Structure 1
């Protein structure tokens, strides 16, 4: 009970921090943050689930800090009728936030363990509008297209044009562009006709998008 009360206090403080963000965090996303207990997604030894620093998860991967995760979701500007494609399920926290604000989320991860554990969390939370796949997702998902929003938690060497035909008009994609061995630029790519318009968000360090399923995990 003490731990639950403390998490409520930490959530209240985090929501207050989000309320001061500029640009403003959409109300639907703030509601999603309040409904999705981040404690379910972070490692058991994390004292404050809403701290803003990356946390290690299974399979040698990491999940973004709480503020970074919400900012990523906010950049997508998801509407209730949107279909979202996510490359890199990870813990499933960002997936869950998007599912609370979108019509449907299709999410891919190359690690079976991450896919299965995230799916268990979605079930516990009563989230039924997520389709999870054990694949790398590097070519998108033609069968589920067109998508209104795409987020890839990975770096591409150049804007990933393979996604263009799977996007609806005026669709948006968030990803990192740059070399796999250093800093990259987080970008917001907007589909305009048969090309992307690029808006640079900031500097990040993402892993390059890996090829194929993980053989062991």
Structure 2
């Protein structure tokens, strides 16, 4: 239904774009182009052009070897913010506790929030020399292991950040993002802060990254070999 025809103050293109997002959501989060056009009562070319814009902005995405359109990183981020962060924190707290118990280091749960990392939850290490909790804090996306993890596993977010912040995201960061994608987790060996090392793993549901778990501590206790061992342990906690 075209409501804008009866209300001159409404912008038709915005109405159509929101209608397409609702159609995808109502279908369970994925639809093919022809299905979207039929559900939104649009010509296929019109629907395709709107989807291209929504895709460039990160509101829809397509997966490799899949012709369907999915809700993108930015719409999922809006849904999370509008929803219940405390519910996500409660649901993932047992995984965080398992990581803390197995590692003895400071562990945290973080989510993408706009173009920043937001730390939802954390458990500090009992060691005297430890990393402090960042719960409730926000940090730049491109600076830390957890931020680079989000950029590696959220293609639309990565494209937007590269387009907006070419001055801050250089070739070295781009290469590291590719390495993270290949190995499945992020490592930081004193890059973000001298004397501090970190490892981060993704929390994925229905094929999409929803959050990230991180572990950090003094570099003297966390050489690269131990970080890699902790990455496997954290991935096991996520699966368990």
Same fold, TM-score > 0.5, yes or no? no
The two structures have a TM-score, normalised by structure 2, of: 0.31
Higher strand share: 1
The two structures have a TM-score, normalised by structure 1, of: 0.33
Q: Which of the two has higher C-alpha Rg?
A: 2
